[in-house]
Structure 1
Amino acid sequence: MKTKLLLVILPAVCLCCRADSICAQQRSSMGVDRPIKATSMQIENDSSVTSARGRISGILKDPSGAIVSGAKVTIRNTASRFKESLLTNRQGYFNFTAVPVGHYQVIVKAKGFGLASVHDVAVAVDEQMTVEIALKLASISTSVMVISPTANPVTATLHQVNQNDRDESRNSAELLASMPGISLRSNGQLASSPMLNGLGDERTKLLVNGMTVSNACPNHMNPPLSYISPSNAAQITVMAGITPVSVGGDSLGGTISIESRSPDFAGPAERLHEEGTSSGFYWSNGQNYGGSLSEWIAGHNLGIGYTGSWVTSDDYTDGSGRKITSTYAQSTDQALTLAARNARNLVVLRAGLHHIPYQGFVNARMDMVRNYAASLNLHYLRRFDHGGLDTHASWQSTSHSMNIGRDKITFPMSMWMPMNDHGTDIGYSAKYEVPFSTQNTLRIGNEFHHFVLNDTWPPVAGGAPMMGPSSFESINNGHRARLGTFVELASTWNAQWTTLIGARNDTVWSNTGPVHGYSAMYAADAAAFNASSRAHTDVDSDVTALVRYEPNASTAFEAGYARKTRAPNLYERYAWSTSQMISSMIGWFGDGNYYVGNVNLKPEIAQTVSGTATLHDHARKVWEIKTTASETHIQDYVDVDPLATIANGMSTFAQLRFANHKARIYSGNMSGDVVWINPGFGKSRLSGVAGWLHGERLDSRTSLYQMMPLHLRMNLDEEFKGWSAGFGVEAVDRKSDVDPHRFEQKTPGYALLHLQTAYHASHLQLSAAVDNLFNKNYALPLGGVNLDDFLASMSMSQIKPVMGRGRSAYLSATIPF
């Protein structure tokens, strides 16, 4: 108990104490951070410039005088090809150091604002030019529609993805790892799945460039975030718990949205706007390496861009040096973007090709032997004199195959069992926002999503009657269609009080065709399923109410209530066979158990209350701490009922049928950071995030499956003269609250130390890191069980948790052009 208490209060103590000690220093020092490099997150120092160079600096503000952070500022020499870009920091500050003497144009691009430029900025030797730039609201929307502040709750977290994030993340889900409320369910190398306050998979809504993508696999080996590579991710928004109905629907935990970079067009003084990046990386543990290339060319109204990436990895080793088999993978992603605009319209068309030729899964009986997807995503924005229209139309086709991979095929008595899935997603969304008074903004919208799935397992030669002579139809023409409509009102009553209320209806239709098994031995289950009433119409209703109070410039409080509903997925309802072999192939939990669907499942209904407090210094320059607590009651939570206990060699598994139960989840999250400048030594930053969860099934008073134990991440970084260095600590408490129905494994607590450093120049970024410096051997609390070891022993070993990655060195290089 003392350990847990220390883990909870440690971030707050460290951050508050450090903030108190440096506030006076900040008030008497230069008062602003250094700017951020657009190709990294590097802070440039303004000292030690050469004798033939000068500096350009300034602060960006909007028409009201408020600072504008995260804007891209580019300086361009009018006589040479010299060009450099920065992102403004939290105080809207930018500072170019070591600028060659000459005449420059300064160009500023920021979301929601028109392009701004200043011409003929003369840089002399050892002089600093201060540029004053006041941005104006854009006449058209060049990115997302500008939404009033009450659209997103205080609990929403926005993260701008930088090149270090991209290189150090093995999949896009890992970009979320340090965000409050997020824990990652370890799956394949490329298929981690985020859980938001203990609710993952379809219980959390995942949007990729505004597009809804479904799992087309009985093991969820191809989750939505696997279809966007880290190299193509630019911005992540996480909304936990009290999610506005305008971005929710058919989910319980909240919404996670990953967006690619918005198109940039040529400025008034440019004929063409061109930019690109080439990068490569290498991780020593598992021989994980790859590279990416991006290029964007645009005129004043038309643009085209390409992003491509390729990654490969072998099996990694744990802290004891033992190989963790079936953790290999390879992937290729390509995306083409076309954009066009005029005075009030923006159209963006994205086309994607995604190919995984192989990916191992240590916690599953099968591996991915092929996954190919093609997608089209059309985004249209229209700005009116009052308000705007934001629409998406999308299509994706996925072909997915499973079988035993290159490691499992070497095991004694390995079972060859091909399984093929084909899924098609098609959908649209339309959202209209209009301010109808100085206080109120109305949002209305309509969405449609249709998913069609066919899951067929071909016969195996000589495998009859268990695996032949016919194919096995797991899901035959299964379809799930959702039509949603919402209305939402955001109100600003005065400088202290704002509210957000909304209501939403989603109607979900699901059905599947008649099925058959490999042979007559499956006839009884097939006949019972075919005779059942499989068509369902679920009418779901969501409500959100939020109130925000800001008594002063350094404090904000928020409280809210949400009612959310989710209809079951196709496998939860329509996985029909009670055969042990068949049901062992169903399930996305990594626990080795056997799952059977339930055609009579009801939708889940969650009711959440949440409160958030945010404290920061008056100017929001030095420190910030945010805490959130929530309680969620879930009626008809889709859990399991036991059908049989299966003794398999030295281990015990369960055959389970999906069933509705009542559940409750408590959660607490805290995050914060503090920044200080040491004259002559650069800028320092201490940041941290901690989380706690408790979930239980109310009828049995037992723990829900895969509830992340108490965990903490802290980082200390120092940046000086183009160099950055730091270390991070990751600590996780022991997992003792486990689900007895699934024989969930307990895991001990652990702490890991990570080191990182980087060097940034105008046209080169080099990074190096060491993860798990002391080569700690630890079990992944959400990693499931190591089925590979169990199968390799011919079921004669005790089932154990999957072990985490041992020490790994990392190198990367990025060249912007």
Structure 2
Amino acid sequence: MPVFSFVSTLPSRLALGCACALPASFAVADEAVDGARTLDAVLVTAAPVTPLTWSTDPRLPRQPVPASDGADYLKTVPGFSAIRNGGTNGDPVLRGMFGSRLNVLSNDGAMPGACPARMDNPLSYIAPETYDRLTIVKGPQTVLWGPGASAGTVRFERQTPHFEQPGVEARASVLAGSNNRNDQTLEATAGNTLGYARVSANRSEADDYRDGAGNVVPSKWRKWNTDAALGWTPDAHTVVELNAGLGDGLARYAGRGMDGAQFRRTSLGARFEKTDLPGAWESIKASVYDNHADHVMDNYTLRTPNADSAMPMPMAANVDRRTSGGRLALEWAWTHLALTAGADWQDSRHRSRSASNLGPYAAWASDADLDNQGLFAELTLHPGAGQRVILGARLDRAAAQDRRASISGMSMGEPMGMGDGMAMAMGSDMPNPTYGVTRRHTLGSGFARYEQDLSTLPLTWYAGIGHAERMPDYWELFSADRGPMGTVNAFSAARPERTTQLDLGAQYKGERLDAWVSAYVGRIEDYLLFAYGAGGMMGLSSTLTNVDADIHGAEAGVELRPASGWKLGSTLAWAWGENRSDGTPLPQMPPLEARLSAGWEGRRWSAGALLRAVSAQSRVAPMQGNVTGRDLGPTAGFATFALNAGYRISEAWRLTAGVDNLFDRDYAEHLNLAGSADFGYPADPVRIHEPGRTAWLKLNVVY
């Protein structure tokens, strides 16, 4: 059978094979071969470190081509996918859940973005390589890191450097690849026993890519970030830190009526940590932050206005969101008991302005104030050897005020972005019936989980039940054109979402074999669902409703080490959802996905291969979806193949290279946006296709 014919049939073959065997992950390791340090393998799929918790170093080399944003990096974790915009700034999806169901934190602060249509979702402002650790908790199985989080919690963290004597540490990388991709990253830390100074910076750029059929896909981007921190460490158990950051960028979107002409970020923060306290009191940790997103959308910086579109003239929309907050947590530990308790708070202010015909912007107009105060506690009990009972409870007081004096017939932030801000740019002239109204809700969340380490096998199993109540977020309250039938708007009618979910799983760690499996089943009351219908000359109109939903799914993985330096791995991820109120599928559910990987690590060389196979998806809700997309109909399965290699030039220098989509396959992901007519796509929805064959080369140095 010819290679290309064989690859084209792989999704069904691989799905069948993985259904008959426990699939698994291929994880990074730093092992010894004949007593010598080996080269870190290229990360293709991450594995859990403990039940329901995933942690990895985002600075490690990875495949596909190193991520330009946080959503791209999360796809190395089974269960994650992203709604694609083109080249960058995809919107993350975990187990088919999106938006604020996924709590995203960077440096323990929230950066929710400002665009009413999520052109600048939270992960758009995160450069993964500038962080030390990525930690993920799946499902409503922690209450420590903020409200909602029914799908999971994602934390990009920077660790505290410690110096026993004066010194300097630094690392840098450069990357070059197809489509004029070029990245530069630099991080330097200097310090002594009394403190440290740390600076990190990155720049990433790429031109439009070509898909597997040779067609140019509008996807150009350029972005940069710079962060600095000053820390005082008067002793080994105390740290006081001040930090600040700046960033900006631009991105051309194939599936939007406007592009992102500005992604300006300003971040300020401070934290205090004290450990090794007397008695059972282990630590106190406090932090505050102030994050500001200043986002510009327009139809003329990165494209030419389409005379035949709904926006024939140059238009721009500027949205601005400042989010401030903080957290205080105290930890205690006794012989058979540990407790973490504390409080957190968040305050967010949103405003907007618009311009047309290259004229000046109108005055800023505030449209939304949102805030939340929460109390939390997690208790870990050790009733017996190898047994743990983890209990968590959280109480939140959430509020949202509608500050829109007037609204347009098509709410600003029209979801599919005939304009993504087009209605804002065209003006608003209808009185808002909920102007000045404040909504307040008291929301409770919690979980209980049992974990056991078996004495006869290197195996841990767990079972947990969790409940999360989520306040409707900015996009749900303010971007929809209308609320349920008979209501004045979405702000007045959208009810908080309540998720109850059972999580089950096991993890085996042997000498030559690691394996894990996790499964979940959940019921969601008052699931917040967007439905789309004809909206006249301005494209689709959106309606926000509450429905009841059921979800379930599983992820699993295996890693086999048949000989020294060799690893073989496989993973599988599957998600299913149903709109129980209407008896129809939930939209934007990712199809079954499997990965097979093989890797070898030597003293100086490493090599690996990755086969990614995605099955067809026929369970769709064509006219429904989230703020950034909807199901565009069934999709065919596909498979892609990638190769990578690495060479450790010295202890300090490392070279890695890869080729993604080796066979230049022409394909599109199921979670997708319809291509914009501005770039020649037809009026009927057409998915944005993914990059064709892509080669890249990366050089890392550590000092």
Q: What is the aligned counterpart of 1:637 among 515, 527, 530?
A: 527
Any idea what SS the aligned residue of 1:263 has?
coil
Any idea what SS the aligned residue of 1:572 has?
helix
Any idea what SS the aligned residue of 1:762 has?
coil
Show the 5 A alignment for 1:52-451: 154-165=51-62, 168-187=66-85, 189-260=87-158, 262-267=159-164, 270=165, 272-284=166-178, 286-325=179-218, 327-343=219-235, 344-356=237-249, 358-383=250-275, 384-385=277-278, 386=280, 387-409=282-304, 411-413=306-308, 414-435=312-333, 437-451=334-348
Q: What is the aligned counterpart of 1:10 among 18, 23, 44?
A: 18
1:524 deviation in Å?
A: 13
2: CA distance, partners of 1:426 / 1:574: 20
Are 1:452 and 2:349 counterparts? yes
Residues 808/3 of structure 1: CA separation in 2 closer, same or farther (3 Å cut): closer
Residues 208/2 of structure 1: CA separation in 2 closer, same or farther (3 Å cut): closer
Residues 755/371 of structure 1: CA separation in 2 closer, same or farther (3 Å cut): same
Unaligned runs of 5+ in 1: 20-32, 48-54, 58-84, 89-151, 463-468, 584-595
Letter in 1 for 2:449: L
> CA-to-partner distance for each residue in 1:608-627, whole Å, 9 max, x for gaps?
0111122232xxx3221111
Q: What is the aligned counterpart of 1:744 among 620, 628, 631?
A: 631
1:250 deviation in Å?
A: 2.2
Are 1:686 and 2:573 counterparts? no
2:11–2:638 Cα contact (<8 Å) kept: no
2: CA distance, partners of 1:518 / 1:156: 44
Residues 3/300 of structure 1: CA separation in 2 closer, same or farther (3 Å cut): closer
Q: What is the aligned counterpart of 1:763 among 652, 659, 674?
A: 652
2: CA distance, partners of 1:519 / 1:710: 39
More moved, 215-224 vs 308-317 = 215-224
Residues 461/807 of structure 1: CA separation in 2 closer, same or farther (3 Å cut): closer
Unaligned runs of 5+ in 2: 1-8, 42-48, 411-422, 484-488, 625-629
1:461 deviation in Å?
A: 7.1
1:377 deviation in Å?
A: 1.9
2:102–2:149 Cα contact (<8 Å) kept: yes
More moved, 527-536 vs 709-718 = 527-536
2:405–2:431 Cα contact (<8 Å) kept: no
1:550 deviation in Å?
A: 2.2
1: CA distance, partners of 2:106 / 2:427: 41
1:690 deviation in Å?
A: 1.2
Any idea what SS the aligned residue of 2:561 has?
strand
Structure possessing the higher radius of gyration over alpha carbons: 1
1:505 deviation in Å?
A: 0.6
1: CA distance, partners of 2:180 / 2:554: 37
1:425–1:450 Cα contact (<8 Å) kept: yes
Any idea what SS the aligned residue of 1:786 has?
coil
Are 1:559 and 2:463 counterparts? yes
Q: Taking structure 2 as the reference length, what is the TM-score of the superposition?
A: 0.86
1: CA distance, partners of 2:248 / 2:260: 11
Q: Which residue in 2 is equivalent to 1:727? A: 609
Any idea what SS the aligned residue of 2:445 has?
strand
2:207–2:220 Cα contact (<8 Å) kept: yes
2:259–2:302 Cα contact (<8 Å) kept: no
Letter in 1 for 2:641: L
Residues 244/198 of structure 1: CA separation in 2 closer, same or farther (3 Å cut): same
Any idea what SS the aligned residue of 2:623 has?
helix
1: CA distance, partners of 2:81 / 2:188: 33
Any idea what SS the aligned residue of 1:225 has?
helix
2: CA distance, partners of 1:274 / 1:184: 38
2:23–2:572 Cα contact (<8 Å) kept: no
2: CA distance, partners of 1:723 / 1:236: 26
1:496 deviation in Å?
A: 3.1
Of structures 1 and 2, the one scoring higher in RCO (CA 8 A, sep 6+) is 2
Q: Which residue in 2 is equivalent to 1:804? A: 690
1:526–1:577 Cα contact (<8 Å) kept: no
2: CA distance, partners of 1:321 / 1:647: 34
2: CA distance, partners of 1:395 / 1:704: 36
Any idea what SS the aligned residue of 1:363 has?
coil
Q: Taking structure 1 as the reference length, what is the TM-score of the superposition?
A: 0.75
> CA-to-partner distance for each residue in 1:508-556, whole Å, 9 max, x for gaps?
1110224236899999985552456731001110011101122224122
1:332 deviation in Å?
A: 1.1
1:498–1:549 Cα contact (<8 Å) kept: yes
Identity of aligned residues (%): 20
1: CA distance, partners of 2:297 / 2:379: 46
> CA-to-partner distance for each residue in 1:218-269, whole Å, 9 max, x for gaps?
1212222232312202211111114221235222101011112x232322xx
1:782 deviation in Å?
A: 1.2
1:476–1:512 Cα contact (<8 Å) kept: no
Q: What is the aligned counterpart of 2:678 among 781, 791, 807?
A: 791
Residues 352/507 of structure 1: CA separation in 2 closer, same or farther (3 Å cut): same
1: CA distance, partners of 2:148 / 2:162: 36
More moved, 216-225 vs 722-731 = 216-225
1: CA distance, partners of 2:562 / 2:245: 43
Letter in 1 for 2:445: D
Q: Which residue in 2 is equivalent to 1:104? A: none
Q: Name the Cα RMSD after superposition.
A: 3.3
1:339–1:349 Cα contact (<8 Å) kept: yes
2: CA distance, partners of 1:363 / 1:220: 13
2:188–2:198 Cα contact (<8 Å) kept: yes
> CA-to-partner distance for each residue in 1:390-413, whole Å, 9 max, x for gaps?
211101122111001455316444
Residues 575/814 of structure 1: CA separation in 2 closer, same or farther (3 Å cut): closer
